[in-house]
Amino acid sequence: MAEIIDGKAFAASLRADVATGVGAFGATAGRAPGLAVVLVGEDPASAVYVRSKHKACVAAGMESFEHRLPANTAEAELLALIDRLNADPAVDGILVQLPLPKHIDELKVIEAIDPDKDVDGFTIGSAGRLATGQDGFVACTPLGCLMLLKDRLGDLSGKSAVIIGRSNIVGKPMAMLLLRESCTVTIAHSRTQDLPAVVRGADIVVAAVGRPEMVKGDWLKAGATVIDVGINRVAAGEGKTKLVGDVDFASAMEVASAVTPVPGGVGPMTIACLLHNTLQAAKRREKIA
């Protein structure tokens, strides 16, 4: 039986470390790191995420600058706000909550963010820095996955890794991070032939495809480490629903050496890594080691 990788506990430890770092930063810089979060419209899920991020910032001792704009905000107005935040010395990180209303070009908005304040790691500049091995910010979810893997396995050099999913937010940056750790990396996707056989050769499996419980235990190599990024709400009978990942947790636990649960695995790491990135952005801007 595999061990459960406790992402909730790791995230709590990381947040505590960030809070300690924020205190040390404040003693040197004379201010707290600042994160600006922009929410356009009233999407309920986005509003929940923004509240969670605000609460986490305050708990870590950071400044939280919230900008809530109506859904009919013009694209030019949003871009002007980002320009002001780019120039604001109190703001170290900028996060624009996605999705945006359909009349706004998301790529244009993301690209307006200064890469040195791109704590979400979504800009082309951030992606390019990651791909070429330069200092920059990595999208929070794959960064959290990497932290969990290194905590579990230590040195990842030489290990075979399969990532299921090729999104710009998870799959591609995850591949770059694992390449940086000297893994042999395969990115699998909807057109991969004989996907179970591809997955079965991997020491590390990162599932980020958005299909409930798609990855079965018999797809896995004995002793593999499995990171489940999926968050899917499915029917649980009697009108109820439950959250499941992209991995069939029960069967994976029979084969793998370690598996992240859903919920309580990768999810808590995302906000913790956002705080980590914001502190790093502040330290770089103030030239504090």
Q: Which of 92, 116, 118, 120 is catalytic?
A: 120
Q: What is the pLDDT of residue 237?
A: 84
Which residues are paired to 63 by β-bridges? 34
User: Which domains are delineated in the chain?
Assistant: 31-129 (3.40.50.10860), 140-268 (3.40.50.720)
Residue 186 and residue 202: Cα distance in Å, rounded?
9
Q: What is the pLDDT of residue 278?
A: 98
- Grouping H, G, I as helix, E, B as strand and the rest as coil, residue 157 is coil
Burial class of residue 107 in the structure, from the number of CB atoms within 10 Å of its CB (0-12 exposed, 13-18 middle, 19+ buried): exposed
For the question of residue 193 being annotated catalytic, the response is no
State the SS3 of 68-118. Answer: EECCCCCHHHHHHHHHHHHHCCCCCEEEECCCCCCCCCHHHHHHCCCHHHC
Q: How do the pLDDT tens digits run along the chain, 289 residues long?
A: 999 999 999 999 999 999 999 999 999 999 999 999 999 998 888 999 999 999 999 999 999 999 999 999 999 999 999 999 999 999 999 999 999 999 999 999 999 999 999 999 999 999 999 999 998 999 999 999 999 999 999 999 999 999 999 999 999 999 999 999 999 999 999 899 999 999 999 999 999 999 999 999 999 999 999 999 999 999 988 889 999 999 999 999 999 999 999 999 999 999 999 999 999 999 999 999 8
221 secondary structure, DSSP code:
P
Residue 35 and residue 222: Cα distance in Å, rounded?
43
For the question of residue 53 being annotated catalytic, the response is yes
Q: Is the pTM of this model over 0.85?
A: yes
* Residues 251/226, Cβ–Cβ less than 8 Å: no
121 secondary structure, DSSP code:
-
Nearest one of 220, 226, 222, 180 to 205, comparing CA atoms:
226
Q: What is the pLDDT of residue 258?
A: 98
* Residues 46/97, Cβ–Cβ less than 8 Å: yes
Burial class of residue 275 in the structure, from the number of CB atoms within 10 Å of its CB (0-12 exposed, 13-18 middle, 19+ buried): buried
Q: Which residues contact 142 (CB under 8 A, 6 or more apart)?
A: 170, 173, 174, 177
Nearest one of 192, 197, 203 to 161, comparing CA atoms:
203
Q: What is the pLDDT of residue 238?
A: 85
* Residues 162/201, Cβ–Cβ less than 8 Å: yes
- Maximum Cα–Cα distance for the chain, whole Å? 57
CA 19 to the chain's CA centroid? 19
Q: What is the pLDDT of residue 155?
A: 98
For the question of residue 151 being annotated catalytic, the response is no
Q: Which of 92, 97, 280, 283 is catalytic?
A: 97
Q: What is the pLDDT of residue 220?
A: 98
